[in-house]
Amino acid sequence: MPIRLLTYTKGAKLPDIPGSSLFQSVELFHVYENTPGYTPILMVAYDGNRLVAKLLAVIQRGNRWLPGPWTNRCQVYEPGEYFDDNIDKAQLFGMMLNHLTNLVLPNIFIIEFRNITKPLFAYKEFRNNLYFPVNWMRVYNSLHSKDPEERLYASRKRQIQKGFANGATVKTANSIEEVKSFVAMLKRIYSSKILRHFPDINFFIQLVKLHPEKENARLFIVYHKEKIIGGSLCAFSNGTAYLWFSGGMRKTHKIQYPGVLAVWAAIHYSYKHNYQHFEFMNVGVPFRLHGYREFILRFGGKERSTRRWFRFRWKWLNKLATWFYL
């Protein structure tokens, strides 16, 4: 029986869809839907009446002052979820990829696929749709074999001790006001070298507060004398904790090490709550020095090479990028 693809852009029309990955979940669809500047797209594949796969993508609107699609991007975390072990996952992904590409290209400048665990997954399908790969880095900490404090660099351990000794405290955000204050602080100090796109505040509020019983995400805040000086947003999916955003006011509160404590709070919490791995998102490309990557590696993590796949709106630009990267 031929595969049938259905595409949803409105949460009210979504059927009951199972899954275990946060990044491909209905919950994240609703977070995107309720965040200004985001348009979610959920593609669902059926074999007859039997659900076999789903793929969640999001269109991020760029600079609102520039008309047209020139600053818009479509981003996909993970290559979907599949519910039939006997089906050819790469072939099915190729069908969804082709449909998604044709659907979004008129409204965006670039499509990006990231967090693909197996670098060779659907290589032919990506290339057939004119995507080009870029080698990338993922940084993660193993939490299942030993206490993460044992993996810390000695200098990092001293910074954590000094930060607390100099009056810093860390807590989990428990109110909307705390989330708003954290986002305002982070937006002021966030470096474009880490991540150029910064979501609307509703993204953080929805992600932390939506379905708290499932612990989709948790926000850790660093205080000094009742003032927020740092924090981190950690998402949880399939036994892994993902550091999505973090930062601290290191220039005005240097001796409290707010950026260090923000990351350590997320790692320590994840270990205490039996997550198997801790992964840092947005660590930069592998072919040039990146200060943030050097910073997080001192928490005892490991680097792992992976791929991201890209497709530009214009074919000539794809050909140029393919020539450069392949």
In the chain, what is the greatest distance between 2 CA atoms, to the nearest angstrom?
Answer: 66
Across 168-186, average pLDDT: 91
64 confidence band (pLDDT: 50, 70, 90): low
* pLDDT tens for each residue of 234-264: 999 999 999 999 989 988 899 999 999 999 9
Residues 159 and 223 in one domain: yes
DSSP-derived 3-state class of residue 287: coil
Q: Is the pLDDT of residue 14 over 80?
A: yes
- Report the pLDDT value the prediction gives residue 283, as an integer from 0 to 100: 76
DSSP 38-75: EEEEEEEEEETTEEEEEEEEEEE---TTS-SSTT-EEE
Residue 31 in any domain: the answer is yes
Q: Indicate the residue among 129, 162, 195 that finishes a domain.
A: 129
Percent of the chain exceeding pLDDT 90 equals 63
Nearest to 100 by CA among 145, 148, 43: 43
- Report the pLDDT value the prediction gives residue 285, as an integer from 0 to 100: 66
Q: Is the pLDDT of residue 103 over 80?
A: yes
Residues 199 and 272 in one domain: yes
* pLDDT tens for each residue of 118-133: 878 999 999 999 999 9
Question: What's the pTM value of the predicted model, to 2 decimals?
Answer: 0.92
Residues 143 and 122 in one domain: no
> Which domain range does residue 112 map to?
3-129
Residue 315 in any domain: the answer is no
Residues 194 and 299 in one domain: yes
Q: Two tokens at 298?
A: 């001192």
* pLDDT tens for each residue of 258-279: 999 999 999 999 999 999 999 9
Q: Rounded to an integer, what distance in angstroms lies between the CA atom of residue 59 and that of residue 93?
A: 19
Q: Indicate the residue among 98, 129, 160 that finishes a domain.
A: 129
| Number of structural domains found in the chain | 2
Q: Which CATH number characterizes residue 87's domain?
A: 3.40.630
Residue 325 in any domain: the answer is no
Residues 34 and 162 in one domain: no
